[in-house]
Amino acid sequence: MECFTDRDDGAVGIVIVTRDALPRWLESAGGRERRWVEAHGEPSSLVIPGADGAPERILVVTDGAAGLFTLAGLPGTLPGSMTCRLEEAPGATELALGWALGSYAFDRYRSTGRRRARLVFPPEADRRLVEAVTRGVTLGRDLVNTPAEDLGPAELAACIRDLAGRHGAAFGEVAGDDLLERNWPSVHAVGRASTRAPRLLELAWGDPAAWKVTLVGKGVCFDSGGLDIKPSSGMRLMKKDMGGAAAAIALASMILDLELPLALRLLVPAVDNAIAGNAYRPLDVFRTRKGLAIEIGNTDAEGRVILCDALAEACAGKPDLLVDFATLTGAARVALGTELPALFCNDDALAGEIEEHCRRVEDPVWRMPLWPGYRSHLESNVADLSTTGTEATGGAITAALFLERFVDAAVPWAHVDLMGWNQRSRPGRPAGGEVMAARGLLDLLRTRAAAARAAPAG
């Protein structure tokens, strides 16, 4: 990876010091270093020059223990020609991963790429994990950042096909009117108005007898709102409406790179929600893959419509864990903001595990309730249920309750309603497309895989 090197020649050392320990560090530092630091107040990071004026050391001051994002701001602020190394490496894996996440730049449409400082890869760090997570996050971010002109359902299919090919996984695709023949009516309904045919995409990998994990991602490559058209302000970022698919693909990539001992299945319904004479309409009724009839409350609530077919098919495989990722509701953003995905889960123990692992790797989610009292909001006078109902409040909950109708009660299921986009730049999390909750889910899967390996046979 370009953000790392194995050559230590001329590398500038990075020392990490807590703010409480900074006075002691200054006492032990040379007079020139001490004067330079004191002249800059209380810096969070500072390049300390040598006698010749060239960078000699980089001081990073933290408020607590070093973590994932401690070094993440450096690659974009240091000179691109600089090479750095850790003088000490407690938590080397997290620090290296943070450096890699902070090195990300989306340069596909730039005449020249942005050069980033490099880090001598710490020998104490888990290189396979760092590179697998970095590749997955980079892939997901690139997908979200790519304009809809260059990323439609066919391009999303090509991405998953390439991923499958690199890892010897099986790939399947159902496109266009074949969706009707193969009983994917809801996916077809949402995507039929676009000149770019809708698709159902599938990847399968691993021993079918192993623990079964199925990932589902909402793949709306562009969302105009359909006939319930969005205003321009609401449509501007809708290239990111496949952010759920990007998160699911990113997590699948990490699992494949690490060869976790599980049976992986990835399902992505990929569509454009477009406007044309054959666009689906408010109050249309469709028979879904599960057999339930749904009445369309609003064509701009299309994500749950394509997901319901995918979730029904996912449950047919009887997975041991089912997770869907979706940029599903503005209501979740109103409740939790743009940086904290909403988690809905039908299993309390599983929900607690997901929250714990997401918190541990600084990829947080916040659980919200599948409140049964709101199920009546989805009642329809003409169909089995309405996609939106008539109640204006609690939209993230009613959307999750709609999806729950297509999930078998015996299947442990988690639904992540995410933004898929950083509205502001923070260290390691640049403004633009973002992969949310995938690193936390990976940590859970790795922990379970390790426990399974350690369990006695039989």
Catalytic residues: 230, 304
Separation CA 206–CA 43 (nearest Å):
49
Contacts of 393 (CB under 8 A, 6+ apart): none
3-state SS of 133-191? HHHHHHHHHHHHHCCCCCCCHHHHHHHHHHHHHHHCCEEEEEECCHHHHCCCHHHHHHH
Contacts of 409 (CB under 8 A, 6+ apart): 346
Among 228, 226, 245, which Cα is nearest to 307's? 245
Among 385, 381, 429, which Cα is nearest to 404's? 385
Sign of torsion over alpha carbons 32, 36, 41, 45: negative
> SS3 helix, strand, coil % of the chain, rounded to 5?
35, 20, 45
The bridge status of strand 83-86 relative to strand 12-18 is: parallel
Sign of torsion over alpha carbons 62, 63, 66, 70: negative
337: left (phi > 0), else alpha (psi -120 to 50), else beta?
Answer: left
What Cα–Cα distance (Å) separates residue 1 from each residue in 5, 97, 426?
Answer: 8, 12, 22
Torsion (CA) 282, 285, 288, 290 in degrees, nearest 10: 120
Torsions phi, psi for 178 (to 5 deg): -60, -25
Residue 6's Cβ-count burial label (10 Å; 0-12, 13-18, 19+) is exposed
Give the other-Cβ count within 10 Å of 441's Cβ. Answer: 28
Q: Which long-range contacts (CB under 8 A, 24 or more apart) does 389-393 make?
A: 389/297, 390/297
Among 346, 357, 368, which Cα is nearest to 450's? 357
What Cα–Cα distance (Å) separates residue 94 from each residue in 44, 141, 361?
Answer: 18, 19, 8
